[in-house]
Amino acid sequence: MTTFDTIHDDAIASRHGQRAGRRFSLPQFIRRLPMGLALSWLVLAIAFLWAVAPWLFTSYNPLEGVGGEQLRRPDASHLLGTDALGRDVYARIVYGAVHSLTGAFVAVALGLVVGTSIGVIAGSVRRRVDDAIMRLVDVLLSIPPLMLSLSIIILLGFGTVNAAIAVGVTSVARFARLSRSEVVRVRRSDYVEAAFGSGGTFAAVLWRHVLPNSLTSVLAIAALQFGSAVLQISTLGFLGYGAPPPTPEWGLLIAEGRNYISTAWWLTTAPGVIVVLVVLAANRVSQSFGKVAA
């Protein structure tokens, strides 16, 4: 073999090695994740699967009790025990995920869309309009979220959807202030000024340059707000302002078991632990998004 052939073969092998090194491997990516972040993603994935296909995780009916099975302790047949009507607690938690998580998604989507729109308008228009909008945002921020959500529910009525709307309204001000600050920061950048100097219209520059570079932090906060929305909706359900019985909503499950806490601790402990795990997992994932945005 000539020297040229040897060099040619080495070059081909080197290119193949580079391509193999660049190839994405999902198991390697998972192994590189920090343990806490990987567990957080796992918790959120399980909760999402509960909401999408709960029948894959339990064969019990969450609304029908079994005679003689009341207040049964956790065992092999009932992993988290039964309630006062003989209903499987694990099945009620699994089927309740769709109510709690859907309400949280609606709340975050409402706050994200409305709040971000208000913030973008405030950061893009003249100073007087900006000041007027932000003073209204400050008023919303001065009201405690729980008090504001309760006031909205009293006006709209009880139910999961109304609770989600109430929680979403309480997050509008937070999204508006953050998106406004990001729009103002990006508008002062050199590339935005260059876009305006090259003849770009206000709408074109806003759509092509300002929005894509100012929404990263907003989306990171949306992940954090998801955990907060799950907690707020569960709180409203616990107070009786969410889904009506016998809907297996997580906050309502905790409220139903508080009268048996001394004799059947699993009725409140099991759904309470699930709520805490989902909230902590959402917060951990939002922190990872925040580091990427930074």
Query: pLDDT tens digit string along 118-156?
Result: 988 888 777 788 888 889 898 888 888 888 999 999 888
Please give the pLDDT value at position 179: 87
Q: Say whether the peptide bond before residue 245 is cis (omega within 30 degrees of 0).
A: no
Q: In angstroms, how far is CA 210 from the centroid of its own chain? A: 25
Q: Give the per-residue pLDDT at 17.
A: 47
Do residues 87 and 253 make contact, with C-beta atoms less than 8 angstroms apart?
A: no
Nearest residue to 258 via CA among 268, 248, 266, 249 = 268
Quickly tell me which residue has 């945005």 as its tokens.
293
Per-residue pLDDT at 21 exceeds 70? no
- At residue 25, the pLDDT reads 52
Structure tokens at 187: 């508008």
- Condensed to tens digits (0 to 9), the pLDDT of residues 34-76 reads 888 889 999 999 999 999 999 999 999 999 988 888 999 999 9
30-36 own/partner pairs: CB under 8 Å, 24+ apart: 36/284
Above 60 in pLDDT, residue 294? Answer: no
Contact assessment for residue 88 and residue 60, using Cβ atoms and an 8 Å cutoff: yes
Over residues 149-176, the mean pLDDT reads 90
Q: 196 pLDDT band (50/70/90 cuts)?
A: low
On the question of pLDDT at 11 being above 50, the answer is no
Q: Which residue has the tokens 């309630």?
A: 83
Residue 249's pLDDT is 92
157 confidence band (pLDDT: 50, 70, 90): confident
d(C-alpha 53, C-alpha 56), whole Å: 6
Mean pLDDT, rounded, for 227-256 = 91
In whole numbers, what is the pLDDT of the chain averaged over residues?
83
183 pLDDT band, cuts 50/70/90, is confident
Give the Cα separation of 75 and 78 in Å (integer): 5
pLDDT above 90 for 215: no
* Nearest Cα to Cα of residue 251 among 164, 134, 142, 128: 164
Residue 108 confidence (pLDDT) above 50: yes
Q: Rounded CA gap, 84 and 264, in Å?
A: 9
pLDDT of residue 28: 52
Report the alpha-carbon distance of residue 82 to residue 267 in Å, rounded.
8
Per-residue pLDDT, averaged over 187-211, amounts to 71
**Residue 18 amino acid letter:** Q
Q: Do residues 81 and 89 lie in contact, with contact meaning Cβ atoms separated by under 8 Å?
A: yes
- At 291 the pLDDT is 64
Amino acid, res. 87: R
Say whether pLDDT at 221 is over 60.
Answer: yes
Q: What percent of the chain has pLDDT over 90?
A: 44
Q: Which stretch, 103-107, 139-143, 215-219, 239-243, has highest mean pLDDT?
A: 103-107
Rounded to whole angstroms, how far apart are CA atoms 150 and 241?
A: 8
Arithmetic mean of pLDDT, 205-215? 73
Torsions phi, psi of 76, nearest 5? -65, -35
For residue 217, is pLDDT > 60? yes
Q: What is the pLDDT of residue 234?
A: 93
Least confident of 18-22, 26-30, 233-237: 18-22
Q: Where are the alpha helices (DSSP H) in 125-262?
A: 127-142, 145-156, 160-170, 172-187, 190-197, 202-205, 211-214, 216-239, 250-257
